[in-house]
Amino acid sequence: MHNQVPFKNFEHLNQNPDWMQSCLYFACYLSYATIPYYRLVKGIVVRLHRILGLLLLAAPASMASPWIGTNDESLHQDLTTLVEFQVIDAVAISYPVPWRGIDRQLTAIEVHSLPEPAKRAARRLLHYLKHRQADGLYQMTSLNIASDPVRFESVAGSYGQKEQLSHQVEVVSGRWSAKLSANMIDEGELNLDNSYVAMHVGGWVLKAGATDQFWGPANDSSLMLSTNARPIPTVGLFRGSAVESESPWLSWLGPWYASAEIGQFRDPRDVDGAKLWRARFTAKPLKGLTLGMSWAAMWGGAGQPDSLGDLLDVLTFQTQCIDDLPTCDEELNTTTGNHLAGFDLSYSFMLLQRPVTLYAQRIGEDAKDYKVTDNANLFGISTYLGPLKFYMESSDTNIACNGDGNPATNCFYEHSTYTSGYRHYRRAVGSSYDSDADQTTVGVQWRGESGQSAMLKLAQIELNPDGLKPSPVLTDGVSEDIKLVSGYYQQPLGNFLIKVGAEYQDRELGDRQESDVAVFVDLRYVWL
């Protein structure tokens, strides 16, 4: 039997007023019953729940998730805190992070001796680890409602949806793990985003599914891969841990993590069925220093070569003539496919008994004479003050194309063949601010002793200043200057996790000025 509450650290917090629990149950039921096609979603959930139940019976069950934060994203923030305080030795600038190896380090920690932010993070992760190891089957129902789509998402975004109802079932059984996430979004559309099936072989995991990932050390967004867009279905190979290898041949790397995937875009596009290759490697060779390398390539699709040989041409950086001419001048050669690649780093050190972290990311797209020309950059700094984590971050995708002092922009996340760009359902797979955007953000994160959390950020954003080729992130006009205030508060109540937030925008649109407010509620319930 289950005897732990999922969102709490202390047993007394499970005692809630009866009227509050009743109201929450009623609100959840009312929203669930009034969204169209409820019976269809319920049927899908029941059938797939039975499939996962059979999987659970096939072998002894263990922890219900192999990765930290797949159901509660704030746990990844806790892990980052412990890494920055140098309590846990692992790489944590890729999300999600495997539990393997980190669980052993956690159980060896003397929690009472830690500084307060690290102490709170360790207690939450230890509580979660104990709870999840005891559970073979994990189920959660969530309801997200927003007055308007939130425009600029950070980690754990809603992909710009106004409404989403989801039911998740997750299980680990022997070498197998699986998660079903049946989701109903705006206008009754159904999808299985964030579902997967995985097999663990030795120190590696073979996984198929469409799951959220975040590549890079930033607190706000990533130039390469973020949770801004709906996840792309892939099949991939992932290292099963993010700690130091036991092999003496690899121990010099320190903690490390690697992944490689191949998938296909599912949205309506100018080139339907375009495929995606992506790979990432991160390592921590020195104390406090974490390095990451990322690579993504779009290829194939309707009217484009998409055989295995064509994929090999993409992976070996073969060239082809612009406009698919049979022969051309060497100056007109371009690399096969649409490539993005780059690196990121994070360096943490202690100053006045608190960690200070400097981080950066540089992602390039397109090359000339084997030199990457279109480089976007992100820089940031973070530190702690009491229970608060402060960060300041700036990124710029409003970059010149093709180098050589060319003043033209409108090229990042764009491509002459794949004209829908590096986007999925019209949202950038990388930065929340899309292309031709310059932004600076100041934010603060707070984590309470009893599972509460809050975030507040202020941002100055300049979108598409030249007024040419506006990206899908623009809603009115062809350019905008935005002052943004965004935040949320999250509170566990028994088996519920309630999150409320808002986003305010003051927008300059050429000769006029407008202001917009969006509010949202995220209600989760874990079935015990």
Quick one: pLDDT at residue 34? 36
Q: Could you give the angle at which helices 74-84 and 116-134 cross, rounded to 10 degrees? A: 130
Asked whether residue 339 carries a pLDDT value surpassing 60, the answer given is: yes
The angle formed by the CA atoms of residues 197, 202 and 206, to the nearest 5 degrees, is 25
pLDDT in tens, 376-409: 999 999 999 988 999 999 999 988 776 555 566 7
pLDDT at 301 over 60: yes
Angle among Cα 289, 240, 68 to the nearest 5 degrees reads 75
Q: Residue 61: its pLDDT value, please? A: 42
Strands (E), 397-471: 423-424, 427-428, 437-447, 453-463
How far, in Å, are 78, 86, 124, 382 from residue 118 at the CA level?
8, 9, 10, 15
Around 350, how many Cα atoms within 13 Å sit in the side-chain half-sphere? 10
Residue 19: the pLDDT is 37
Residue found under tokens 């096969």: 336
Helix, strand, or coil here: 384? strand
Q: Residue type for 395, please? A: S
Q: Please, what is the Cα angle at 388 between 383 and 391, to 5 degrees? A: 40
Beta strands in 11-79 (DSSP E): 67-68
Cα(46)–Cα(40) distance, rounded to whole angstroms?
10
The percent of residues in the chain predicted with pLDDT above 90, rounded, is: 54
User: How far, in whole angstroms, is CA 441 from its chain's centroid?
Assistant: 18
Give the Cα separation of 347 and 288 in Å (integer): 5
CB 164 within 8 A of CB 191: no
Measure the CA angle with vertex 260, ends 364 and 251; round to 5°: 95
Confidence bin at 132 (pLDDT 50/70/90): low
Length of the chain equals: 528
Residue-wise pLDDT tens digits, 251-299: 889 999 999 999 999 999 999 999 999 999 999 999 999 999 999 999 9
Question: Who contacts 60 (Cβ-Cβ below 8 Å, separation ≥6)?
Answer: 173, 174
- The residues with which 252 forms a beta bridge, in sequence order, are none
Note the Cα 460 to chain centre separation in Å: 22
Task: Determine phi and psi for 101, rounding to 5 degrees.
Answer: 90, -40
pLDDT higher than 50, residue 18:
no
Q: What pLDDT shows up at residue 135? A: 52
Q: Please report the pLDDT score of residue 370 as a whole number.
A: 58
Please tell me the distance from the alpha carbon of residue 507 to that of residue 483, in angstroms, as a whole number.
Answer: 7
pLDDT band at 213 (very low <50, low <70, confident <90, very high): very high
pLDDT in tens, 412-434: 999 888 999 999 999 999 999 99
Q: What is the pLDDT of residue 510?
A: 79
Predicted confidence (pLDDT) at residue 7 exceeds the cutoff of 70: no
| Whole-structure pTM value | 0.86
| Helix, strand, coil percentages, rounded to 5, for the chain | 20, 40, 40
Please tell me the predicted confidence (pLDDT) of residue 9: 42
Q: Give pLDDT, residue 10.
A: 36
Task: Report the C-alpha gap between 293 and 295 in whole angstroms.
Answer: 7
Q: What is the pLDDT of residues 55-95, one digit of tens each?
A: 444 444 445 578 988 777 788 899 999 999 999 999 999 88
Tell me the three-class secondary structure of 71-82, residue by residue: CCCHHHHHHHHH
Q: pLDDT averaged over the chain?
A: 83
Q: What is the enclosing helix (H) or strand (E) of 181? A: strand 176-184
Identify any residues that bridge with 505 across adjacent strands, giving them in sequence order: 484, 516
Enumerate residues 6+ apart whose C-beta is below 8 A from 232. Answer: 210, 263, 264, 265, 266, 276, 424, 429
pLDDT of residue 28: 42
**CB within 8 Å of 393: residues ≥ 6 apart:** 218, 219, 220, 221, 378, 379, 380, 381, 440, 441, 443
pLDDT of residue 360: 98
Quick: pLDDT tens for 342-371.
999 999 999 988 999 999 999 998 765 556
Per-residue confidence band for 153, with pLDDT thresholds at 50, 70 and 90? confident
